[in-house]
Amino acid sequence: MMVDSRTAPPELARFQAGFPGVKIELGKFREATFRRAAQLMVSPGIGLQEPVIVDALNHGVPVTGDIDQFSKLAKAPIVAVTGSNGKSTVVSLVAEICEAAGVTFGLGGNLDGVRSRPALDLLEGDIPALYILELSSFQLETTAILGAEVAVILNLSEDHMDRYSGLRTYLEAKQRIFIGARKVVVNRDSPYSRPPTQVDAEIIDFGLGEPGPRGFGVLQQDGAEYLVLGRQLLARVDKLKVFGQHNVANVLAAMAIGKALGLAPELMAAAALQFRGLPDRCQWVAEIDGIEFYNDSKGTNVGATVAAVEGLGRKLEGKIVLIAGGVGKGANFQPLVRPITQFVRGVILVGEAAPQINEVLAAHKKISFADSMEDAVAQAKAAANPGDAVLLSPACASFDMFRDFHHRGQVFTETVRVLQ
C-alpha cells in the first residue's frame, strides 16, 4: 500500500501505471492505516516525529527507509558520506578518482546531478565494484545498520532546525552512518566528525593543518602550500580549480576516502587537480563591468554561506555584495556576522527569512531588500564596485520562491546573463 498526505502527488499516474495492483491512500494520514501496517517504509521527507508514525511505533510497527533497504540488498561495498556541507562535492570527486582508477561504481543517494540516481535504483543492472552514496540525516534516521566499507561525517553546522530539537539530535541522526562501518574517515578540524563511541574500524584522518604520518593535510614548503599524505607532497593548493578552504578540506576528504579504498595517492592527486567543482556551488557565472558574479545557490545553510564568503573573500581584491535569504529552517544566523563584517560590502535580502537575517546583520552592514531575484541582482550590481563580486549564497532553503536550489541558481544565472 502507498500512502501520501498530498491529494495529488507528482508522478501519481506513472506510479499507478507501473504498480496497478497497489492500493493508494491520499490526503490526511490516517492513524488506523499506519497501525495496521506490517512495516512502514518512510520517505526521508517525513519526520519520525509525525504523530501517526509515533503512534505506529508505540504499537510495535517497525519502520525502515530507502537506505536501510539498500544496505540489506547491496552486493558491493558502500562508501557513505554525510555532513552539513560538502557532501556532493566529496562524493563527486571520489567518483572521478574511481573513474580514473578504472573502478566501477554506482553514484547516488541524496545527490542531485545527471550522473546520480536514487539509491534503490542503483540496484538495477550490473553490480559495480562499489556504491558511492551521499546521505542526508533524514535518510540515516531510518537506517539500522548501514555496514559501510567507508563512512564519514565531513562537518556539522546548524541545519534543518525546523525538524530537529537542536544540534545534538541532528548529530545523532548523522552518527548512524558509523554503525557497522569497516573504515572511518575523520575530519581533524571538526569535533563532530568522530564516532560517538569506540569503533572497531580503521580510522584515516584529514584536516587543513599539518597531518600525522598517515593523515592528509596541508604543508607549507618553499613558499607554497601543498596537499600532503604524511610528508608526501601530492599537489599544490594553488593549482586546484576549486577555491576556498572548505574546498581544500573537501579534496582532502575525498583523498582520505580513496586511501581507505586502496587507491594510489598520485592518481588521486591528478584527479583532484582536474576537478572543476559542481554547479550552484560558488560557480563563476560572468564578469560585467569589472564585477564578477558567482552562483552558490547550494548554500542552503549558514555554515555553507560562511564558507563561501570566506573562500571568495580571500580570493578577491575587492569586496562581496551578498544576496541571501529564503526559508530559514529555524537557523541561527549569528555566525554570518564575522565573515560578512570582514569581506562583504553590502547585503541584499530576499524571501521569508529576510527579517530575521536583517535583525542579526543590520548593525554590521548596509542591508537592502528585494522582492525577486531580478531585483536582487540589479541592486547588487548597482552596489558593487569594479573588483568586487556579487555572490548568491542564501544560507537558506529555496522553496518559498523557487522549485529547488537548482532552479534558484538558474534564475540567478539567467538574470546575470541578461545584463551582459
- Residues with active-site annotation: 87, 110, 160
Q: Which residue has the cell 599544490?
A: 236
Give the C-alpha separation, 201 to 199, whole Å: 5
CB atoms under 10 Å from CB of 386, counted, come to 10
Q: Residue 331 carries which DSSP code?
A: -
Task: Write phi, then psi, for 278 (nearest 5 degrees).
Answer: -120, 155
Is the Cβ–Cβ distance between 372 and 411 less than 8 Å?
Answer: no
Is the Cβ–Cβ distance between 358 and 328 less than 8 Å?
Answer: no
Which candidate, 71, 66, 117, places its Cα nearest to that of 91?
Answer: 117
Give the C-alpha separation, 181 to 177, whole Å: 8
Give the C-alpha separation, 118 to 63, whole Å: 19
Task: Write phi, then psi, for 183 (nearest 5 degrees).
Answer: -135, 145
DSSP string over 225-253: EEEEETTEEEEEGGG-SS-SHHHHHHHHH
Kindly list the strands in the beta sheet with 320-324, ordered across the sheet, starting from the edge strand earlier in the chain: 283-288, 291-295, 389-392, 320-324, 344-349, 366-369
SS3 content of the chain, % helix, strand, coil (to 5): 35, 20, 40
Is the Cβ–Cβ distance between 297 and 283 less than 8 Å?
Answer: no
Distances (CA, A) of 412 to 1, 265, 298, 315, 406: 41, 38, 12, 22, 10
Strand 105-109 with 130-134, pairing: parallel
Q: In the structure, how many helices (H) and strands (E) does the chain have?
A: 14, 19
Give the C-alpha separation, 41 to 142, whole Å: 9
